[in-house]
Structure 1
Amino acid sequence: MNLRSILSCLILISSFSTFAQTDTSHLRISLLTCSPGVELYSTFGHTALRVTDSARGVDMAYNYGTFDDRDPNFYAKFTRGIMLYALSNYSYQEFLQEYQYEHRGVIEQELLLTGEQKQHMYAALQENAQEQNRYYNYYFHTDNCTTRARDMIVRQTGASIVFKNILPEKIPTYRNLIHTYLDKSNQSWSKFGIDMCLGSNLDDRVTNDQSMFLPDYLMKGIDQAIADGHPLLAHTQTVVAAPPVPPAVNLVTPMFLFSILFVITGLLSFSNNKWAQRSLNVFDCIFFLFVGIFGILIVTLWAIRVDTVCRNNFNVFWALPTHFLAAFVVYLKRKWLQQYFRIVFVLTLLFTLCWFFIPQQINVAVLPLLGILLMRSYFRGNLPLKKRATTNAANIFQSSKAIDIEL
């Protein structure tokens, strides 16, 4: 062991000794990081705070991730992004049993704070847990159970806390971070749905602090944080060792399903068989109906949500809401409908050509859908129009004259 290592150890031991001598609060405060679960809502893990008071026999978990789904307007509020979450404090053993039952891991990081700082934070948590103070508006990437725990540590301890950089050299976006967890658990359909609904605002590069909306990133941040010139972390322990979560089994992924549809549609589109053409009438009706529903959903979420996560969604340029109406008359041979599909073809082609320049990461499973749109809008835009019978007066007169002569 070299001299520098010995000096570092002595400084660390000295700082612990100083804290031990000055801390008469009997308090112990820890950050709890829970591993991801199987369900979508638990895919990103969870965060809570633990407070232990050995003098009073207190051992409580403070959890910012609770909500009441019994509200009759819960789903309407959820759609609008009005999600009222609350801080709940209850027995640590209760908290632990829940995660043991779900086979999810729990890692505890004890914070190295002075007695005064711990008392200050404990008092702030108790005040925050009062009925009139415990509720807050939840926003999943800016104000959630993890950011609330972090802010409680940073703002209520009275310590000067500095987080070292925990981001890779290539700075990820919010969407990149979300994809990491969805890919790991093989949730391809959830990933497709999220990418369809969330707009380009989620493609902003995150800062070091912003990345800590995810429990794992806050845990990394605490691990390397400095408080008043010394490490914020006292020590780490694994409370519950979680078995590896098996990835979801998806035999039919969006990319696979849409690619099969693209191939089948292509074969039918270039066939002159009457059965194929009748089948395409039905397919086009269903396909444009669902694409139109997607478009209506995108526009609705863009307009009604109180946060910004669904705004500036470039998917609306191919999932046009007007397709919902066109689906009901798709089989008609009218000039205005022909012009509509020609416009659709041009818009879809431009969107496809600009794929790498769009300031939003579009889900790769959209590519076969664009292929289907291009094919079907091209054929629909070039169908022969229905011939209309001419019944003008001159033709009637000529017909009558010819009959007179014959008679």
Structure 2
Amino acid sequence: MRHYIFFLVMLFIVGKSSFSQTPTLTENSKISFLTCASGDQLFSAFGHSAFRVQDSVLGIDVVYNYGTFDFNRPNFYLNFAKGKLIYSLSRRSFDRFLFEYEMEKRWVKEQILDLSLAEKNNLLIFFENNYLPENRDYLYDPLLNNCSSITGDILVQQFGDAIVFDGSHLDRLYSFRELVRQNLDINSWSSFGIDLAFGAVVDRKATVKEHMFLPYYAMEQMRNTTKSGKPLLERERTILDYSEHTRNGFFPMSPLFWFTLLFLFTGIVTYLDHKHKTRSRWLDFSLFLITGIIGTCILLLWFATDHTSTPKNFNSLWALPLNLVVAFVFVFQNQLPTWLPKYIWFALALLCVLILLWILGVQVFSPIVIPLLLTLATRYFYLLKFMKK
């Protein structure tokens, strides 16, 4: 028996090998839910969730982590762009898992589940079955299927209708976009990029269970979840006690600063063009080219990928994909074509449609986009006036 226990402990320390067979947990065992604080990088800005299984009699203390990904996996970045990113369930010793958060000074909190011995063993069998090489990989979705949202799925799968997710602790149900914004500085490039990529589909209200895609909400939900009418949690404790990380942005590096600067610059150039009765074709080329490239990327995310959060993206109403073609008209043609005024009127009309969709709540756009809309409108109106003359 001693050799068997020593063998199990060594397997957990290495963290790479599988159990030769799933051990039977004792009465001393505990299964808990871990929540880790947000970090400084974008991929860690939302925190993290995992399950811990420990048994002092068997010498087991291991973490099952559904948030593992491998940058070295073939076509990693291509699969990420296509919405086919693969995440995996990993298993490692608790000490090794905790080391990363100790180094980054991120708090870790533990919520011990109130389970019977049979339920603990069934849950361990479930984790071990998931950890088999043929089962450990899954298709990642940042909003619907990640390391945190999978928690609710596991509870429902294990306990069925006995699990009740009470949402009375929520002030209201938030949309997915609102929930993501709660974890990011809205005047940051990461927040702007996410808002730009997200379509109108993320502006629906998330259900109580869907709020659990964010680890902090999952942790709070565990406190407000019952199993067979009784609280799911036995008790909680703080394993690492650090202050929440704060991210202070530098305004001159923010998108609002640069987009406002672009608007002012475009206004000055447009005034000089008006004064000298000319047009700065390099400015028009740049504006049309950049918005055309952005619009093309938006359409690709909408129609050519499996992302669930990027369809119906009406940012394409200001970032027109056709601008990519029109941009070269300003470079290679001295005489602007007769159809160009109609196209610009069309572009201006789409800007109005975008504002209407924003007001009606069909899609919520980043407020950082306002200087860009003003920049385009300024140049569109000037080109109409210039071509009319």
User: TM-score when scaled to structure 2?
Assistant: 0.87
Look up the equivalent residue of 1:289 and give its one-letter code.
L
What is the CA deviation profile of residues 189-229 of structure 1, one whole-angstrom value per residue up to 9, with x for unaligned ones? 11111111110010010111110111111111111221222
Q: 2:73 is matched with which residue: 57, 61, 71?
A: 71
Q: 1:340 is matched with which residue: 330, 336, 343?
A: 343
Alignment partners' CA distance in 1, 2:106 and 2:212: 20
Counterpart for residue 375 of structure 1:
378
Counterpart for residue 405 of structure 1:
none
What is the CA deviation profile of residues 138-172 of structure 1, one whole-angstrom value per residue up to 9, with x for unaligned ones? 11111111122332233225782212115634321
What is the CA deviation profile of residues 76-120 of structure 1, one whole-angstrom value per residue up to 9, with x for unaligned ones? 111011011111111000000011112211100001111111111
Which deviates further from its counterpart, 377-386 or 54-63? 377-386
Asked if 2 retains the 8 angstrom alpha-carbon contact of 1:109 and 1:236, the reply is yes
The gaps in structure 1 that reach 5 residues or longer are: 1-22, 387-407
Q: Displacement, 1:267?
A: 2.8
Alignment partners' CA distance in 2, 1:159 and 1:295: 45
Counterparts of residues 2-401 of structure 1 (less than 5 Å): 25-156=27-158, 160-166=162-168, 168-183=170-185, 188-252=188-252, 253-272=254-273, 277=278, 280-330=280-330, 332=333, 333-384=336-387
Gap change, CA 1:86 and 1:379, over 3 Å in 2: same
Asked if 2 retains the 8 angstrom alpha-carbon contact of 1:100 and 1:240, the reply is yes
Which deviates further from its counterpart, 85-94 or 351-360? 351-360
Asked if 1 retains the 8 angstrom alpha-carbon contact of 2:152 and 2:209, the reply is no
Look up the equivalent residue of 1:128 and give its one-letter code.
N
Look up the equivalent residue of 2:328 and give its one-letter code.
F
Alignment partners' CA distance in 2, 1:227 and 1:167: 17
Look up the equivalent residue of 2:204 and give its one-letter code.
D
Alignment partners' CA distance in 2, 1:211 and 1:220: 10
Alignment partners' CA distance in 2, 1:275 and 1:194: 40
Counterpart for residue 10 of structure 2:
none
Q: Displacement, 1:335?
A: 1.4
Alignment partners' CA distance in 1, 2:203 and 2:357: 17
Gap change, CA 1:117 and 1:133, over 3 Å in 2: same
Asked if 2 retains the 8 angstrom alpha-carbon contact of 1:64 and 1:149, the reply is no
How many residue pairs get matched?
361
Percent identical: 36
Alignment partners' CA distance in 2, 1:380 and 1:272: 10
Counterpart for residue 11 of structure 1:
none
Asked if 2 retains the 8 angstrom alpha-carbon contact of 1:352 and 1:370, the reply is no
Q: Displacement, 1:45?
A: 0.5
Alignment partners' CA distance in 1, 2:74 and 2:126: 32
Which deviates further from its counterpart, 84-93 or 334-343? 334-343
Asked if 2 retains the 8 angstrom alpha-carbon contact of 1:187 and 1:248, the reply is no
What is the CA deviation profile of residues 35-59 of structure 1, one whole-angstrom value per residue up to 9, with x for unaligned ones? 1000000111100000001221010
Gap change, CA 1:53 and 1:381, over 3 Å in 2: same
Gap change, CA 1:353 and 1:163, over 3 Å in 2: closer
Alignment partners' CA distance in 2, 1:319 and 1:86: 36
RMSD: 2.2
Secondary structure class of the residue paired with 1:271: helix
Q: Displacement, 1:25?
A: 3.1
Asked if 1 retains the 8 angstrom alpha-carbon contact of 2:106 and 2:244, the reply is no
Look up the equivalent residue of 1:95 and give its one-letter code.
F
- Whichever of the two has the greater Rg, that structure is 1
Which deviates further from its counterpart, 376-385 or 91-100? 376-385
